[in-house]
A = this chain, B = another copy of it.
Amino acid sequence: MQMSIVGCVMGAFQIISLDGSADEEHLPELSTSQMLKMYRDMVLARRLDSWLMRLQRMGRVAIHAPSEGQEAAMVGSAHTLESEDWVFPSYREIPVYIARGVPISEILNRQFCNEEDPLHGHDMAVYGSRRHKIVPAPVPVGMQIPTAVGFAMAAKYRGEKAVAITYFGDGATSKGDFHEALNFAGVFKAPVVFFCQNNQYAISCPFSRQTATKTIAEKAVAYGFEGVWVDGNDVLACYSATKRAIEKARRGEGPTLIEAFTYRLGPHTTADDPSRYREHAEVEKWRERDPIARFKRFLIRRGLWSEEDDAKLHEEIEEDIKLEIEKAERKRPLKPDVIFADVYESEPWHLAEERDEFSRFI
């Protein structure tokens, strides 16, 4: 495989072409059911995303950071993880949670901040679950990266075979935390995979203004390990590149920086208006590279899928989501004093006092 980049750019690694044909030599070993599961996850993520956009517009859920267009990068990479591996996402990774097996009911409980919200209504737009080995993102960009490295170093110290994967955007690579963390990972050969979704924008800031390099992948040079540039709209390429990096990390051969080159089709968040900073034509161009359509073409070409299957799948998913939305919306809201929960393991006297005072006002 020609995936490594040291110092110069050769072109992003790709397996599925736009028309759905494939580079047979590089096809990963995946069973049909695995591939169909990946496809299903991508579609589910897309439909859920579009529901969350609408629900937000209707004022029924809070802010949402859409993942439309980035499903291949997230689902492809997350499908390589074993149950012992840990995920340190950012705020745009619902497709990762789905691939990791998180039920959408839980994601919806989160978005509706109902009494079953696993984060107790304490933060927006992020998700985490100890059961699924997902550590919720801190909203400040890039901040989760050192945490993933520390986790990986600890796993290594314990002789465990767990690998940590952390997700972040192109904008995050400009932060000091990205640098300090990758440098640590290089020095300590931590079993960690840095998965950068270069969706070409940090809100309005285009990639060309974010850094002077042509790729993110080549930044790995500065840390003494491998950088990989991959077509982020090609789910199999993302799967293969990540699988290789995860296995390498598990073997004790250290970290990898993967850049999945992709595009955010939607706004930055529901609060954003992308027409202020980019042309409609550009978005349209990228719609043609839609990762779901491409994977579908691939599956159909190989006789693994049909338009009928697809229609059925969409219908089924749509029903499912609607049902879960209804359920989530019907659940009780969080109690007011939840704002005093989870500050410390045991409540210090000053918080007990404040909670008492608080209870007089609700």
Contact = CB atoms under 8 A, between A and B. Distances in A.
Contacts of A174: 180, 183
A164 B252 CA distance: 43
Contacts of A222: 213, 218-219, 221-222
Contacts of A209: 187
Interface in A1-44: 6-8
Interface of A: 6-8, 174-180, 183, 186-187, 189, 209-214, 218-219, 221-225
Contact of A212 (B178, B180, B211, B224): B224
Identical copies in the complex: 2
The 9 closest A-B pairs by CB, nearest first: A176-B176, A7-B7, A212-B224, A186-B212, A179-B179, A222-B222, A219-B222, A213-B224, A221-B221
A contact patch SS: helix
Given A176-B175, A177-B176, A7 B221 contact: yes
A222 B178 CA distance: 12
Best-buried of A175, A180, A183, A209 by chain B (most CB within 10 Å)? A183
20 contacts: A6-B7, A174-B180, A175-B176, A175-B180, A176-B177, A179-B179, A179-B180, A183-B211, A183-B212, A186-B212, A186-B213, A187-B209, A187-B212, A189-B212, A212-B223, A212-B224, A212-B225, A221-B221, A221-B222, A222-B222
Nearest to A188: B212
Contacts of A7: 6-8, 218, 221
* Residue among A6, A174, A178, A213 with most chain B CB within 10 A: A213
A182 to B, nearest CB: 9
